[in-house]
Amino acid sequence: MSVSAVEVIRAKRDGSELTEEQIRWFLDAYTRGAVADEQASALLMAVFFRGMTPAELSVWTDAMIRSGRRLDLSSVPMPTVDKHSTGGVGDKISLPLCPLVAACGVAVPQLSGRGLGHTGGTLDKLESIPGIRTALSGDEFVAQLAEVGAVICAAGPDLAPADRKLYALRDVTGTVESIPLIASSIMSKKIAEGTSGLVLDVKFGSGAFMREVDRARELARTMVGLGDAHGVRTVALLTDMDTPLGRTAGNGLEIRETLEVLEGGGPADVVEITLALAREMLGLVGVDADPAEALRDGRAMDRWRTMVRAQGGDPDARLPVARHIEQVRAERDGVVERVDALAVGIAAWRLGAGRARKEDPVSAAAGVVLHVVQGDRVRAGQTLAELHADDAAHLESGREAFRSAIRVGDTAPQASPLVLERIAGA
Ligand code: URA
């Protein structure tokens, strides 16, 4: 084969469509270490500016899947459907959703990630439960899925290794925010995981990766197309992330809220999105069950407890509590005009719930508890939120970031729908 890295970079830089041979060669050589990071960086930047044609994107995604192992879930005796969220503030939905859908008879193979920046990661949240393991071998993952129907753990090193390398490079070269690169990154991992169906929660708004709804819609359509082309039935919901989901942002705090939902309570918005996604997941594989009933009658909670135990955790253990808890109070009477997802996410991150670099530790106890939501009437002196931190330095930094998070004024905000649109394949 006579492909060279420089030739591929030049072709993309000058706007030519890459051939299948060029794409497969480049991604394979990069995964093996035969193409240097600086060359891959240059190609990523060229893709960032030039985009990809549907044909290029399809081959690129397929090459990423083939860079590692595709899991075989054929030993799982139930249908399998996974969910992926593009990430947001207070987005703990995977935690109640996975055992809920499992309780309705559909297995959920959740390979999740860690938080970076202002959005939290499901694994960091789960790890606030004492004893829980999130690093399972491929065999453990499949065995738990077959037995319990619910598993939430980290992806192994052999799942789409090309993406692992490329994502780390994108993170430091300003090439994350490219629709074809995001779509191929997410979908290569989900397709390699072996699921037969996938529901995507694509978020837009201040706390989301894609702030503008049009870009979120384009990302959703691109991912749905890739899933369908690879034999994974895929549906996407476009959901609002302008204001945080639920009342908590922070690892252990979000586990607490998850338990409220599994007990049949919890914030209305978290319950609404959880049920909307659960119905889509069940619908994809034709299972006629009512997830609201499984929340009410305790089956979802039972499944959560079984899942946590199967991964070595103690579902009855006390969750960590922060050493410092500070109230944020309203300075005037009025109405809560805005609770800004981005500001709340950054505050939770600074309080210690998130990390700035992949290697950083996170606090299980830190974060934000909201006492109000948009549209609530408040009196001067009333508690709007609590800031939780393990030490005074994090508390101070979080307090500073939270300053613009809640705006109290005179005008009640317009209510907007949580689920804006549903996008399905042809
Ligand atoms: N999550 C991923 O897995 N990949 C991206 O590119 C962005 C978010």
Q: Is residue 105 part of a domain?
A: yes
Q: Are residues 201 and 284 in the same domain?
A: yes
pLDDT at 324: 98
In a domain, 419, yes or no: no
Instruction: Supply the Cα-derived Rg of the chain in whole angstroms.
Output: 22
404 included as an active-site residue: no
Same domain, 162 and 309: yes
Asked if residue 287 and residue 173 are part of one domain, the reply reads yes
* pLDDT digits 0-9 by tens, 278-307: 999 999 999 999 999 999 999 999 999 999
Residue 115: per-residue pLDDT: 77
- The angle at the Cα of 206, spanning 201 to 212, to the nearest 5 degrees, equals 70
Helix (H, G, I), strand (E, B) or coil at 198: strand
CA neighbor of 146 nearest in space, from 102, 211, 100: 102
> Which position has the token pair 């393991």?
133
Decide if 421 contacts 237 (C-beta within 8 A): yes
Residue-number span of the structural domain to which 20 is assigned: 5-51
Same domain, yes or no: 101 and 143: yes
Query: What is the reported pTM?
Result: 0.96
Encoded tokens for 72: 């075989």
> What are 221-278's pLDDT values in tens digits?
999 999 999 999 999 999 999 999 999 999 999 999 999 999 999 999 999 999 999 9
Residues 216 and 336 in one domain: no
84 counts as catalytic: yes
358 pLDDT above the threshold of 90: no
Find the farthest-apart pair of alpha carbons in the chain and give their distance in angstroms, rounded.
72
Q: Is residue 341 part of a domain?
A: yes
C-beta 186 within 6 A of ligand 1? yes
Quick one: which atom of ligand 1 is closest to the CA of 86? 8
CATH number at residue 375: 3.90.1170.30
The pLDDT tens digits of the residues spanning 116-168 come to: 677 779 999 999 999 999 999 999 999 999 999 999 999 999 999 999 999 98
Say if residue 214 is in the same domain as residue 359: no
357 shares a domain with 297: no
Query: Average pLDDT for residues 10-25, to the nearest whole number?
Result: 98
- Asked if residue 71 belongs to a domain, the reply is no
Query: In terms of domains, do 89 and 25 share one?
Result: no
How many separate domains does the chain show?
A: 3
The answer as to whether 181 is a domain residue is yes
Q: Which atom of ligand 1 is closest in space to residue 189's alpha carbon?
A: 3
Has residue 62 been placed in a domain?
Answer: no
Please tell me whether residues 385 and 266 are part of one structural domain: no
342 found inside a domain:
yes
Gap between the Cα atoms of 58 and 51, Å rounded: 13
CATH classification of the domain holding 309:
3.40.1030.10
Mean pLDDT of 60-79: 96
Determine the average pLDDT of the residues in 14-20.
98
Ligand 1 pocket, 171 CB below 6 A? no
Catalytic annotation on 363? no
Strand ranges, E, within 106-262 = 108-112, 150-154, 197-204, 233-240, 248-249
CA dist 57 and 379 (Å) reads 54
Nearest to 115 by CA among 21, 225, 254: 254
CATH number at residue 19: 1.20.970.10
Residues 204 and 246 in one domain: yes
What DSSP character marks residue 17? P
Measured from the CB, is residue 187 less than 6 Å from ligand 1? no
The verdict on residue 261 lying in a domain is yes
Look at residue 51 in the predicted model and tell me its pLDDT.
98
Which of 163, 240, 242, 390 is labelled catalytic? 163
Q: Do 178 and 249 sit in the same domain of this protein? A: yes
Is position 185 annotated as part of the catalytic site? yes
- Same domain for 149 and 238, yes or no, is yes
Residues 118 and 250: beta-carbon distance below 8 Å: no
Handedness of CA 46, 48, 50, 53 (dihedral sign): positive
Find, among 190, 83, 192, 98, the residue nearest to 144 by Cα.
Answer: 98
Beta partners for residue 329, in sequence order: 383
Answer yes or no: is the C-beta of 222 below 6 A from any ligand 1 atom: no
358 is catalytic: no
Is pLDDT at 341 greater than 80 in this prediction?
A: yes
